[in-house]
Amino acid sequence: MTTNLVIMGPPGAGKGTHAKEIATHFHIPWISTGDIFRKHKAEKTELGKLIESYIDKGEFVPDSVTDRIVCERISQSDATAGFLLDGYPRSIPQAKVLKAVLAEANERVDAAIYLDVSAAEVKQRLLKRAEIEGRTDDTPEVIDHRLEVFFEATQPLLDFYEQEGVLRKVDGEGTIAEIAQRLLTVMEEIERN
């Protein structure tokens, strides 16, 4: 049985913190588009330079680029039992591409987990992360822009997965342990279905 999952939430919602545990729980790879993008940036590939030009402005990488990267990644052998996508899809067109690719293999997204965190909490977390990690994409101006773009693009996506019957909203505020416990409850529910 495959388990194909999507984890969503605003930048700084804790997706990376919790995705590893979820992936381990289901014995599937955690596929972070952000990590893939940062790897290309660090290696200064042509794709990395293109990606950097978008990320540094707080904009999303175009669908054509992201779709290609994700579809290539989920076709790899370690993803045959499923996967956890982190950072994809971020738009309805991306969600439809993913749905079509999975349908070709008689599969689907089994659950879209949304970490629900307020904009104020996210901004505070990102500024702290920028301080600790020295990330150039976490300036106050870029954070505001990323949040605006995120919430604008994400509401339709939440509606899409709600209509698909796979949306699971999880309160993403509180301690890491509290959030992990809420996620465990959702994971057990996914396993039962």
Catalogue the active-site residues. 15, 90, 129, 135, 146
- Run of H or E including 62: none
Cα distance between residue 55 and residue 136, in whole Å: 9
Structure tokens at 102: 């999975």
Q: Which amino acid would we find at residue 156?
A: P
Structure tokens at 49: 């330079």
Q: What is the CA radius of gyration of the chain?
A: 16
Binding residues for ATP, as ranges, are 12-17, 129, 174
CA distances to 84, 104, 124, 130 from 147, in Å = 23, 34, 12, 15
Cα distance between residue 99 and residue 12, in whole Å: 26
Binding residues for AMP, as ranges, are 33, 38, 59-61, 87-90, 94, 135, 146
CB atoms within 10 A of CB 72: 10
**Tally of helices (H runs) and strands (E runs) in the chain:** 8, 5
Bridge partner residues of 30 (DSSP): 84
Binding residues, as ranges, are 12-17, 33, 38, 59-61, 87-90, 94, 129, 135, 146, 174
